[in-house]
Chain A
Amino acid sequence: MDKIKIALAGNPNVGKSTLFNRWTGMRQHVGNWPGKTVEKKEGSFKYDQYGMEVIDLPGNYSLTAYSVEEVVSRDYIVGEKPDVIVNIIDAANLERNLYLTVQMMELGANLVLALNMNKFAREKGLKINKKQLSELLGVPVIEIEAVDDTGSEKLLQTIVKVSKSPNVVLDRLEYGNEVSEHTKQLEKIIDQDIPQLDAPSSWIALKLMEEDPEIIKKIEETGKGQRVLKEIKKIQRHFNDVFGDDADAAITDARYGFIAGLVSESVKKPKIDKVTRSDLIDRVVTHKYLGIPIFLLIMWLTFQITFTLGDPLGGYVEEAFAWLGETIAASMGEGFLTSFIVDGIIGGVGGVLVFVPLIFILFLILSILEDSGYLARAAFVMDRFMHKLVGLHGKSFIPMILGFGCAVPGIMATRTLENERDRLLTMLIVPFMSCSARLPVYALIVAAFFSAYQGWVIFSLYLLGIVVAIIVAAIFKKTIFKGMSAPFVMELPPYRLPTAKGALIHMWERGALFLKKAGTIILALSVVIWALSSLPVGVEYGSQESVTGQIGTVLSPIFAPLGFGEWQATVAIIYGFLAKEVVVSTFGTLYGIDGDGGGEEASDEEVSANETASVEQVSNEASGEQVSGETAVEEASAEEEETALEEDPGYIAVMQELFTPLSAYAYMVFVLLYIPCLATLAAIRRETNSWKWPAFAAVYTFVVAYVVSFVVYQGGLIMGFA
């Protein structure tokens, strides 16, 4: 069977993924481009007697080395040389879409143009003469609708045909005398001096005139580029003298000039722009006074739906695993192996699956928001706020809000940010948003020490998290992310009704990816922690004799200046690494207090991490409300009082023995800020595709937590709050 290698290219939001999914269905593989945070989607399908291999290139507006996505696409087209590139074009937005087309033609790519969204073009009153356009470009132009079968057969036939007799497109481009002349001149020198380049020399010439850093570097690396680079300098001076502008701008102008010519010959436009439906919606959604309330309402709904629906479902998962663990423990009897299976494996798998409902629901909502076009408006409305406050893009607001529920979906939501720097910076500060798992810890300590001011104390912690995030972001912007300015240049795509299929596919892709990539890491680390808690053989799980207990004992003096130098507090911090709410149950087990408060005997399994279900159940109830403001936090903690274990006098006594009010507050601050939980680190690892960032996040948050707690405790001592 003959193979045809197809690449899908096009601007963002033109229906590329829709076509890709239609073609490949479930036969696709999602990964990352080597060494990049950019997602790589590959798939295959059969057509006639051909095996089609499709790669979905990132959505790009151009092939300048402006973003990682552009570099990835460009390198693929140059390096891998796909047989056919299907360039999907939004017919309603022809001019800007053709800019990418023209750049691919410069590369000599074997193109087929697929005009999509023709319905919207007609609504806009545009009449596109496909035949004329095709003749002018020297490239077949096929009308399709990616959402259904329209034009599908014709497109496939054309792909097969073009794969056999490639289009010759290089001579079609007309960039005016000035640009062409200089390109030719350069081309000649390139051909003489460095003939072995793998891209057309006319393209190299254009890129050099555009001062493309990647290409300049490549030419320098050949060691034979002196004459070429000298010539460039001359040309650039010439452009500056003649046009008062650089060659770079002249080339962009020339491309759009060529496109304007194409469009004037092949497209009929209405005289007056119609007021579109999108305009009408935007008048309300981005309205001067209504814009922000609407945005906050939508955020609130997103949060409510995700956590009120996801948390109980996660709770069921947790209960199911707790039940499974108990059942197995009951049938196997106590022992080392039982503990391994129940606490290590089942606990670990449960720890992963707990997040599944949350993540699937979140991604369903996010893809609806994104596909409908609202996400771009949200960023438009919030950009000034985020930019002034933390120097971030308007879109960063959404991951941060989600972080109040759980940092894992928050970090995964950073994918909606196009700029890598914004993505990384947002990921690094999202864990400071006080997530729902920290609430049981606060609730426990607050009940023991601050019962008169619970709402205020908890609110102060939420606020502290936000303040620390802002300060840290400001510091990072001046240090590790220095000079990488991220501008806000964003298309506001027309509103479209998201399709159920599209949203479900998105949800599935993201959710499954989390399970596969982050899940394995969480599971592996859970088993490691289990082993540390159970070894040497024979010790009681997590006791002072276990490895964890010994580590805690050794490390505890480090925390003495923060006011909590006892080994139990340190061990609880180590377990909090699994999931922050485990801090609570750790105190329970270390002091032999029954976490359920229901009179059950504290058996061996109850010591394990997954046995925190009862505690979490309480936190789940509370977490639904916490972001709606401080009153909700108060309400939530008040609600908890009815059933929660912090009512247990045993707990309160233990807490009061271990902490003073001041050291208890410092402890809460530490729990708020220190190393994000395993799942969060795994999510960062997954999203950045490297261990560097999660490791960095772990270390720097630990330092921040230590410093802030130190200041709180020592400052408090000086001020006399002993």
Chain B
Amino acid sequence: MIKTLNNLKQGETGIIVAFKGKGNVRKHLMEMGLVRGSDIKVERVAPLGDPIEIKIKGYSLSLRKEDAKKVEIEIK
């Protein structure tokens, strides 16, 4: 099943299958490790509902849901 990253629930894991869109934020996030084939887990959501914290390449990264929308995840 494929979901976009912003729709993953806390604790859900998957593999990145695509990163849509263009531009600096996408490039930056890819360089931070959000490349195709990487394992990803949603660690938690901030108290106000945004941003989210993910685990990628063995470390914790936070990003906003508006950017997470572009990342497609294959749920394990």
Contacts and interface: CB of A to CB of B under 8 A. Distances in A.
Interface of A: 61-62, 64, 66, 92-96, 99, 124, 210, 245-246, 248-249, 252-253, 256, 273, 278-279, 282-283, 286-289, 291-292, 376, 380-381, 383-385, 387, 485, 487-494
Contacts of A385: 48
Nearest to B52: A380
Nearest to B49: A384
A286 B46 CA distance: 6
A273 B40 CA distance: 12
Contacts of B1: none
A487 B30 CA distance: 14
B51 A96 contact: no
A286 B44 CA distance: 8
Contacts of A252: 27, 30-31, 35
Majority DSSP secondary structure for residues of B touching A? mixed
Contacts of A291: 46-47
B33 A380 contact: no
Given A252-B30, A489-B63, A66 B24 contact: yes
A17 B47 CA distance: 32
A256 B38 contact: yes
Interface in B53-71: 53, 55, 57-64, 67
Given A96-B33, A380-B46, A248 B27 contact: yes
B19 to A, nearest CB: 7
B58 A62 contact: no
Contacts of A248: 27
A488 B49 CA distance: 14
A541 B18 CA distance: 72
Given A246-B22, A380-B46, A488 B64 contact: yes
A570 B29 CA distance: 53
Nearest to B18: A245
A382 B29 CA distance: 21
Contacts of A279: 43
B35 A383 contact: no
Contacts of A381: 46-48
B29 A95 contact: no
A97 to B, nearest CB: 9
B31 A61 contact: yes
Interface of B: 18-19, 22, 24-33, 35-36, 38, 43-44, 46-51, 53, 55, 57-64, 67
A651 to B, nearest CB: 46
B66 to A, nearest CB: 9
A380 B51 contact: yes
A146 to B, nearest CB: 19
Sorted nearest first, the 10 A-B pairs with minimum C-beta distance are: A384-B48, A291-B47, A492-B60, A487-B25, A95-B57, A62-B31, A252-B30, A384-B50, A256-B35, A93-B59
Nearest to B29: A489
Given A93-B59, A291-B46, A492-B61, A487 B27 contact: no
10 contacts: A252-B30, A256-B38, A286-B46, A380-B62, A384-B49, A487-B64, A488-B62, A489-B25, A489-B32, A492-B53
B59 A487 contact: no
B24 to A, nearest CB: 6
Contacts of B58: 92-96, 124, 273
A292 B57 CA distance: 28
B61 A489 contact: yes
A92 to B, nearest CB: 8
B57 A288 contact: no
Contacts of B67: 487-489
Contacts of B29: 489
Nearest to A210: B27
A64 B31 contact: yes
Given A96-B32, A286-B44, A286-B53, A492 B63 contact: no
B47 A289 contact: yes
A291 B49 CA distance: 12
Given A384-B48, A489-B28, 15 more contacts: A62-B28, A64-B28, A95-B57, A99-B33, A253-B35, A278-B60, A282-B53, A283-B44, A376-B62, A381-B46, A488-B62, A488-B67, A489-B62, A491-B60, A491-B61
B46 A249 contact: no
Contacts of A246: 22
